[in-house]
Amino acid sequence: MTHPAPTAPTAPASAAPFAHEDAADWYRGAVIYQVYPRSFADSDGDGIGDLAGIRARLPHLRDLGVDAVWISPFYASPQADAGYDVSDYRKVDPVFGDAADAEGLVRDAHELGLRVIFDIVPNHCSEEHEWFQRALAEGPGSASRALFHFHEGRGEAGELPPNDWESIFGGPAWTRVEDGEWYLHLFAPQQPDLNWDNPVVREEFRSVLRFWLDLGVDGFRVDVAHGLVKAPGLPDIGRTGQVGLLGNAPMPFFDQDGVHEIYRDWRRVLEEYPGERVLVAEAWTPTIERSACYVRPDEMHQAFNFTYLATDWDACALREVVDTTLEAMRRVGAPATWVLSNHDVTRHTTRLGNPPGSGTQMVTPGDPVLGLRRARAATLLMLGLPGSAYLYQGEELGLPDVTDLPDEVRADPSFHRAAGQEGFRDGCRVPIPWSGTSQPYGFGPREGGPSWLPQPDAWRELSVEAQTGVAGSTLELYRSALDVRREQPSLGAGDEVEWLDAPDGVLALVRRGEDGAPVVVTTNLTSEEVRLPLPGGLLLASAELAVDGDEAVLPADTTAWWLG
């Protein structure tokens, strides 16, 4: 029995596809900026960012020098997990605006030369999605229940969950409904997992993709891309403890081979449209080689490099992950990607100020001076590597995580469930400062207006306004880095690096372009200054350095770019 898809509203008037002479290759060397809508810019003063706010701030992204903007979910949602619980994939949630705002955002971005990537959340939907509401109403054995993972429980009276899987947010991955069956949710109970073995689910998402492609969107970041297909029979894991996103143990609900046919199908949908539309995998896999499976020539275009993000500030470890990444991606003809921060992990300004091995989420502020110095150096190293780079909103301002948020303001569902994902994602989601000397620092339209999470007083000194035109500011460092990266043919896209001999704790690599002079990237990851043979003319450095005759004096925790 087939099951009807939710009634779709009429798609907004189609926007023209983004035209660019390098359209076929744009993503291979692109710098893509993540916008977390509720924390970017608030146009109406309700304390929550929105699409109109994003539209108004797009010139900042153009001036920063990025190539594309990735926008986290803004779809209709009860907001149990900040929009990653979608109740209607074709509607804009009123808290963020309406369909006209979405259409206008894509149009405005294209006029400014920016491509737009929307988030899509296919692993699970909201408990308020009409499919799930129908499944609850129609009961066991219904076609509606077959759209999800409903099963009888174990035990004499079915009182135990069907298996031992745990939620990423903590606690059992199963919730029992009134008629006695249990449904699977790898995240919060308000986010039931969809059953991707059901052809109705697959057809529905093809329709959703086309809906937004018709609007003119340039691609999709695919949430939990590794989780859609579960192992047949839903077997027990056979061990206890929290299931971490960065765990190395293969899980029967993650990274199953069956996901790849889904993305081959999606790739065919994107190829129906003019221009180069892209798919980006959020795939937390045990190895970089497994991540490469998602970007084979007929599947996705990019996959986030979470192994790089999670690597400590250590020269040997970073060199190894760079080499492993480039080799794995070269084998499948895909570009490498590099990322240091996003909406799910502690900002790297804070993370790098903590001792090695602290993980990707933490509550301690660490050493803020050391953290910022290392973060600036890490950014120049990342932007000097071959491939595509992702920036998270506010990192261009050097924003730290906010580690002292009161419990009563926290919104992350993992905070309210035992041991789930450590529960500290709110700290990287505090609204960013734009201008002024009092909260919300230009995030909203009026001084003293609300902000859904409180901002630290010190952020008045980190706003876009406070840093613009200030030599040595983190904002101007980012602007300069992206300018140089765009101007130098040897930087950006590519798949090769040449390592140079360097002292212990120092990385030195050469990038060579066909039409440009080589660029040398040197990073001192030690706590002492080092002297290196002068690699060439200085292009840019993350901190002040000296040239002494034929030697470069590289301070501790500093990266420099040199034109050979």
Distance of CA 184 to the CA centre of its chain: 25
CB 46 within 8 A of CB 450: yes
Q: Which amino acid is at 314?
A: D
> Both tokens of residue 292?
């490469």
Catalytically active residues are 223, 272
Question: Half-sphere exposure of 136 toward its Cβ, with a 13 Å CA cutoff?
Answer: 12
CB 374 within 8 A of CB 358: no
Q: Is residue 116 left, alpha or beta, with left meaning phi > 0 and alpha meaning psi from -120 to 50?
A: beta
Task: Name residue, tokens 């499944």.
Answer: 135
- Between CA 305 and CA 322 the distance in angstroms is 10
Residue length of the chain = 564
Phi and psi dihedrals of 136, rounded to 5? -65, -40
Question: Half-sphere exposure of 112 toward its Cβ, with a 13 Å CA cutoff?
Answer: 24
Task: Name residue, tokens 């999605």.
Answer: 129
β-pairing, 558-563 with 537-541? Answer: antiparallel
- Between CA 28 and CA 279 the distance in angstroms is 12
H helices, E strands: number in the chain:
12, 21
Both ends of the chain: CA-CA distance in Å?
66
H or E element, residue 541: strand 537-541
Task: Give the contacts of 532 (CB within 8 A, at least 6 positions apart).
Answer: 502, 503, 506, 508, 522, 551, 552, 554
Distance of CA 260 to the CA centre of its chain: 20
Q: Which amino acid is at 503?
A: P
β-pairing, 506-511 with 519-524? Answer: antiparallel
- Between CA 401 and CA 427 the distance in angstroms is 5
441-469 b/e (C-beta count within 10 Å ≥ 16 → b) = bbbbeeeebbbbbbbbeebbebbbebbee
> Both tokens of residue 173?
């991955």
- Between CA 61 and CA 150 the distance in angstroms is 44
User: What three-state secondary structure class fits 68?
Assistant: strand
